[in-house]
Amino acid sequence: MQDACPHPLVRRGLELHMLQRGSGSRQACLRFYGELNDHLPPEARQCAARIRFDVPPTAKSAIEAFGVPHVEVARIDRGGEGMQFSDRISPDDRIAVYPVFRTFDIANAGIGWGELPHPLRFLADLHLRKLARLLRLLGIDTEIGQTDADLSSESIVDRRVLLTRDRKLLMRRELAHGYWVRSTDPIAQVVEVTRRFRLAPQIKRLQRCPVCNGMLHPVAKIEVESRLPPKTARWLDDYMQCERCGKLYWRGTHMKRINQMLDRVASQV
């Protein structure tokens, strides 16, 4: 049987090995675009991929067989027509899979996503605690999930975008909105997420508690004076308190370091 979708890269007349998943006598080709290639092995990016089968899989199953979470897919195209995740792939199909481009109109993608919450709110898994704290310092509403088992349901109930480095979490059928954080460095992560979701208009520095995500509000010095270090109480009159956990904040010497870090982030978004 001749391949229906030869690999687009040819070297010295020899066809390179195509990225392939599954087994069976039938096959279809998928082509992943844009940042969806981040999920593929380096040698297989920007190239066609083959899936083999006997029983036609759903589009969702075929896409996730290559490690691409469905929540990062904005449109699936077969012969110029859109597909749903539940649609079955047919033998010899050539399918294009598109990410959420910055200029892409998700509302017209025809894939049954549902609108993103506005303003955007996030749920980070436990391994992204540092990212969550940095987003909170920027004023972005970000909760931290405590167990993987609850992340999907919490994301859905609270209408939050799930942030994780675990692609398996993003493949749960019920999950509507999520993102696989590419970077492993917390500063790079917060820049990545801020750019990816165009959060610049939502940034309001130092208005959320980095510990619990509660909102900060001014509090009278006389109400909290007994909790203040004596040296701080002598020279400072302005304080903020978290409405959720009660933690106190003031503009001490550490604020210069925090603002320098936030300036560094802001310069890259």
> What does the DSSP 8-state code read for residue 237?
-
CATH 3.10.20.30-classified regions of the chain: 10-108
pLDDT at 210: 96
pLDDT at 92: 96
Least-confidence region, from 74-78, 106-110, 143-147, 225-229: 106-110
Tens digit of each residue's pLDDT (9 = 90 or more) over 94-142: 999 999 765 444 444 445 455 677 889 999 999 999 999 999 999 999 9
- Residue of 3, 12, 72 lying closest to 40 (CA atoms): 72
Distance, CA of 171 to CA of 32 (rounded, Å): 17
Range of 40-44, 53-57, 172-176 with top mean pLDDT: 53-57
Q: How far apart are the first and last CA of the chain?
A: 50
Q: Is the pLDDT of residue 232 over 80?
A: yes
pLDDT at 17: 53
Model confidence band, residue 7 (pLDDT cutoffs 50, 70, 90): very low
**134 within 8 A of 201, measured Cβ to Cβ:** no
Least-confidence region, from 3-17, 173-187, 203-217: 3-17
Distance from chain centroid for Cα 260? 25
What is the architecture, at CATH level 2, of domain 10-108?
Answer: Roll (3.10)
pLDDT at 13: 36
Omega prior to 117 cis, within 30 of 0: no
* CB-neighbour burial class of residue 30 (10 A; exposed 0-12, middle 13-18, buried 19+): buried
pLDDT at 118: 80
* pLDDT averaged over every residue in the chain: 87
Distance, CA of 93 to CA of 5 (rounded, Å): 9
pLDDT at 12: 36
Q: Can you give the pTM of this predicted structure?
A: 0.82
Q: Is the pLDDT of residue 9 over 60?
A: no
Q: Is the pLDDT of residue 28 over 80?
A: yes
Tens digit of each residue's pLDDT (9 = 90 or more) over 155-203: 988 999 999 999 999 999 888 899 999 999 999 999 999 999 999 999 9
- Give percent of the chain with pLDDT exceeding 90: 68
